Amino acid sequence: MIKVQNLCKSYKNSRVLSDINLHVQRGEIFGIVGQSGAGKSTLLRCINGLESFESGKVIVNDTDIAGLNETAMRQFRRKIGMIFQNFALLNRKTVLDNVMLPMECWHYPQVERRKKAEELLALVGLADKLGSLPHELSGGQKQRVAIARALTLEPDILLCDEATSALDPAITQSILELLRDVNRQMGITILMVTHDMAVIKTICTRMAIITGNRIATTGRVSDVFLAEPAELRELVGYKEIYAPAGRSLLRVALRESVGGPASLYELFAFLKGDFSIVSANIEQFESESYGLLYLHVAAEQLEQTVHCCQQHGIECSAYSPESPARGNG
């Protein structure tokens, strides 16, 4: 669906994207995270053909966009919707007119434009706001208008650039639910760029982290959060967890899909009460929840405890007192 291969992009002499490889499958919701300035928006603009790049390939729906002439590029962009943090609505136009705008550019007949815009505004829950102006709407409502507008030309792909970053957490959730409905009901592939981990955890099945202009990690969201690679810890922060003398620290990750609480019961039974919980966290992801526990166990029991975890499908890592765990649990 979207294949980015060895993409390199600079502004003047400054490298912004280095050797980017990404494969977003049809129908998935894929998240890209990274610090501000990491190159996320630039990558989106390379994917929809708004930015040129020095080397590498961007292939969307089997089309290598480097080979497109102006007319073909216009047709290509038609199939890619985009929403932004600042909504990008025209302030003097009504909600209905804003949504009809892309169809106007493509010379859709007036009756069709109106019908389609009304349908989409009903879909995003704004059937009663057709005649309102953007300044009369809340941030969440403005983003709903932007989503309706992005859907008018029936795109295959929706690119979301920090689409919820200007919204409060409750409104963010409602916008994410709407995007999930759009993904499921219309089969639209969604590529989300965000710095908000909650967005990634809630809606994305796979993710990539961009650090230092490169993709540092790619994988299923739950796998990345369970593995806690250094790039993730850099983004979310971490605290150091130590074990006192004679104790060892064990990090235990429990997936709902491989036993969950039953496995934990087996581990606790094995430890016969000789453990303490230093930190515990339950995370809910788009398709799965998992628990992350940090335990102090007797140092001499560490090896057998690790073995017990392995037997019951529990992922674990042991830490010596000299090298503390760095977790966000």
Dihedral sign of CA atoms 60, 66, 72, 77 in order: positive
Closest distance to ligand ADP from the beta carbon of 15 (Å): 9
Residue 61 and residue 321: Cα distance in Å, rounded? 51
Whichever of 146 and 302 has its CB closer to ligand ADP, that residue is 146
Closest distance to ligand ADP from the beta carbon of 326 (Å): 24
Closest distance to ligand ADP from the beta carbon of 32 (Å): 9
- Asked whether position 38 contacts ligand ADP by CB under 6 A, the answer is yes
Stretch of residues binding ligand ADP (CB under 6 A), selected from 29-37, 52-60, 147-155, 215-223: 29-37
Closest distance to ligand ADP from the beta carbon of 263 (Å): 39
- Asked whether position 85 contacts ligand ADP by CB under 6 A, the answer is no
Whichever of 84 and 108 has its CB closer to ligand ADP, that residue is 84
Whichever of 51 and 266 has its CB closer to ligand ADP, that residue is 51
Beta strands in 212-327, from DSSP E residues, in sequence order: 214-220, 239-241, 247-255, 275-284, 289-298, 315-319, 325-327
Residue 132 and residue 150: Cα distance in Å, rounded? 18
The three-state secondary structure class of 55 is: strand
Whichever of 10 and 94 has its CB closer to ligand ADP, that residue is 10
Give the DSSP per-residue string, 184-218. HHH--EEEEEES-HHHHHHH-SEEEEEETTEEEEE
Interface with ligand ADP (CB under 6 A), residue from 6, 25, 26, 37:
37
Beta strands in 69-125, from DSSP E residues, in sequence order: 80-84
Closest distance to ligand ADP from the beta carbon of 44 (Å): 8
Closest distance to ligand ADP from the beta carbon of 187 (Å): 27
Judged by CB under 6 A, how many residues of this single chain contact ligand ADP? 10
- Asked whether position 40 contacts ligand ADP by CB under 6 A, the answer is yes
- Asked whether position 39 contacts ligand ADP by CB under 6 A, the answer is yes
Please provide the distance, in angstroms rounded to a whole number, between the alpha carbons at the two ends of the chain: 36
Interface with ligand ADP (CB under 6 A), residue from 2, 20, 34, 253:
34
Closest distance to ligand ADP from the beta carbon of 81 (Å): 18
φ and ψ of 260, to 5 deg: 50, -125
Stretch of residues binding ligand ADP (CB under 6 A), selected from 40-48, 62-70, 229-237, 246-254: 40-48
What residues does 217 pair with on adjacent strands?
A: 209
**Structure letter (DSSP) for residue 287:** S
User: Could you tell me the maximum CA-CA distance found in the chain, to the nearest angstrom?
Assistant: 78
Task: Name 131's Cβ contacts closer than 8 Å, sequence gap at least 6.
Answer: 94, 95, 96
Task: Name 137's Cβ contacts closer than 8 Å, sequence gap at least 6.
Answer: 95, 129, 145
Closest distance to ligand ADP from the beta carbon of 188 (Å): 22
Task: Name 31's Cβ contacts closer than 8 Å, sequence gap at least 6.
Answer: 192, 193, 194, 199, 200, 203, 204, 206, 207, 208, 221
Closest distance to ligand ADP from the beta carbon of 143 (Å): 18
- Asked whether position 11 contacts ligand ADP by CB under 6 A, the answer is yes
- Asked whether position 42 contacts ligand ADP by CB under 6 A, the answer is yes
Which of 325, 158, 296, 114 lies closest to 317 in space, CA to CA?
325
Stretch of residues binding ligand ADP (CB under 6 A), selected from 35-43, 84-92, 93-101, 166-174: 35-43
- Asked whether position 212 contacts ligand ADP by CB under 6 A, the answer is no
The three-state secondary structure class of 26 is: coil
Whichever of 88 and 101 has its CB closer to ligand ADP, that residue is 88
Residues that bind ligand ADP (CB under 6 A): 11, 16, 34, 36-42
